[in-house]
Structures are given as structure tokens and as C-alpha cells.
Amino acid sequence: MEFLVDVRVALPAEMEAQQRAALLAAELQRGRELVAAGHISGIWRIPGALRNVAIWQARDATELHELIASLPLFPWIAADVTALATHPLNAD
């Protein structure tokens, strides 16, 4: 099943620069793992913010939640999720 996921990250202003850098590095690594596993099939950064939109692949909404929750930045993430269905123009 495909999902459109709009992720917004709001890190606390008082977070130390070293902790922020470590979290962002861990997030990048986890993201690469999710891409390699086929769970993220496309991702786009929204300029000017810690925000992205991506196409995620998961068996169902429960698995998608588990995948998003595995992100190191999860405690600071707000996400809008839209389940996607095949459009007739994309049908084989």
C-alpha cells in the first residue's frame, strides 16, 4: 500500500547544536535504510524548513506508523498521512 506522508520537524530552540547534529545524522542514516528496504520510494525536501514529503510503502497503516516511529526525530515530528489508491491513468 502506498502513502503520501508530509513530515514537519520542530526541534526545540534550546536543543544543543551537538545533539541536533547527532539526531540529524541518525535520521539521515535511518532514512537511507528505509529507502534501501523499499519503504520510501520517493522523497522531496521542502525548502526553508525541516520538512519533507515522501511516498512510503507499507502493508497497512499500522506498519507505516511503526516505520515512522522508528525515525530518530519521531518525538519532534508532526506528520499528515494520506493513503493512496491507483488512478486509472496509472493502471496497466
pLDDT 10s digit of each residue in the chain, 92 long? 999 999 999 999 999 999 999 999 999 999 999 999 999 999 999 999 999 999 999 999 999 999 999 999 999 999 999 999 999 998 76
Task: Give the domain extent around 10.
Answer: 2-90
CATH number, domain containing residue 65: 3.30.70.1060
> Is the pTM here over 0.85, yes or no?
yes
Burial class (CB in 10 A: 0-12, 13-18, 19+), 8: middle
Split into its structural domains, the chain has a count of: 1
Handedness of CA 16, 6, 31, 69 (dihedral sign): positive
Over the range 19-28, which residues count as b (16 or more CB within 10 Å of their CB) and which as e?
eeeebeeebe
**What pLDDT was estimated at residue 17?**
96
